[in-house]
A and B are shown apart, each in its own frame.
Chain A
Amino acid sequence: MGLRVLDAVELPIRYEANIAEVRRSARALAQSRGFDSFATAALTTAASELARNVWVHGGGGSAMVEDLSDGQRSGVRMTFRDSGPGMSAADLERALAGGFSTARSLGLGLSGTRRLVDEFAVDTRPGGGTVVVITKWTRF
């Protein structure tokens, strides 16, 4: 059985208050799909970091929250998009290594977030905005 998207919600990130809405949406879905409290906190914190990046560094954008199933496990996939300044390949590499921040929290935000989720992908280029996709699955 392949990957199925059961539901998808797109949330705008235009104001700081939207960060909390993204976080609450991630928490509600994780809890309804049976994530334990540690996995829920990890996903919710990752969502908070990435939503804040969209707001602070990307000048706003959106977060898509998707309810996944692979036939055995439930998953939550989140896609964060902004049309901000983006990053060069070298900057991205440094951000993922954790020692780089263009403003306040990007370096730690990206490198730390990667350690909280099961799947993590970034698509960015200078002037072309940034897209970050994370997925977290229930254990069994």
Chain B
Amino acid sequence: MGGPIPILKVGPNLLTTIHVELTDSIAEVFQQDVLRAIERTGAGGLVIDISVLEEVDTYVARVLADTGRMAALMGTRSVLVGMRPEVAATLVRMGYGMEGVETALDVDRGIARLASLKENR
């Protein structure tokens, strides 16, 4: 766990809140931290909370989507939660709808989504 973004085990899942600027170097360490945490804890799901972020450009959006894809390759489902209205509107206007990324309004609904994904597997 080398990066500045904490990754917490909450029940059967991992929860992480992006609270800093995702620069190239922070993004890479974050992705590695997430994957190591999945391996270490055997977490069934990953909740990525972006409610603090006032803007998400296509670079950050790609980092977030890629993190979910990396987790998926290891067998862990992920859900992106807390996207602000301004961020959702801006990403779609740019043509970046983050297709294939599971989303939920907040952390509670994200955890519920992970539980239902598990049942339907």
Residues on A facing B (Cβ under 8 Å) = 16-17, 19-20, 23, 27, 37-38, 40-42, 44-45, 48-49, 52, 98, 104-105, 108-109, 111-113, 115-116
Contacts of B59 in A (CB 8 A): 48-49, 52, 104-105
Interface contacts (Cβ under 8 Å), in number, total 69
Q: Within 8 Å of chain A (Cβ to Cβ): is B28?
A: no
Residues A108 and B58 in contact in the complex (CB < 8 Å), given A17-B23, A38-B86: yes
A104 contacts across to B, CB distance below 8 A: 59, 62
Given contacts A16-B23, A111-B95, contact A116 B90 (CB under 8 A): yes
**Contact size range, B:** 20 to 34
Which residue from chain B places its CB closest to the CB of A17 in the assembled complex? Answer: B23
| B-to-A contact residues, CB < 8 Å | 21, 23-25, 54-59, 62, 84-87, 89-90, 93-96
Docked CA distance A20–B57 (Å): 11
Q: Which of these, A17, A19, A27, A45, contacts B90 with CB under 8 Å? A: A45
Nearest Cβ in chain B — how far from A74, in angstroms?
19
Sorted from nearest, which 3 A-B pairs have the closest CB atoms? A112-B94, A41-B86, A48-B57
CB–CB A115/B58 < 8 A: no
Nearest B residue to A56 via CB reads: B59
A-B contact pairs, 5 of them (CB 8 A): A41-B89, A41-B90, A105-B59, A112-B58, A115-B95
Instruction: Kindly report which residue of chain A lies nearest to residue B60, judged by CB atoms.
Output: A48
Contact status B93-A42, CB under 8 Å: yes
What residues on B are CB-neighbors of A17 within 8 Å? 23
Specify the chain A residue showing the minimal Cβ separation from B26.
Answer: A16
Given A16-B23, A20-B21, A41-B87: A115 in contact with B55 (beta carbons within 8 A): no
Q: Kindly identify which residue among A16, A23, A45, A52 contacts B94, using a CB–CB cutoff of 8 Å.
A: A45
**What chain B residues lie within 8 Å of A105 (beta carbons)?**
58-59, 62
- Least distance between B62 CB and chain A CB atoms (Å): 7
CA A55 – CA B63 in complex, angstroms?
17
Q: Of all chain B residues, which has the CB nearest A15?
A: B23
Since A108-B96, A112-B96 are in contact, a sample of 9 more A-B pairs with Cβ atoms closer than 8 Å, ordered by chain A residue number, is A17-B23, A41-B55, A41-B87, A42-B86, A45-B57, A49-B57, A49-B58, A49-B59, A104-B59
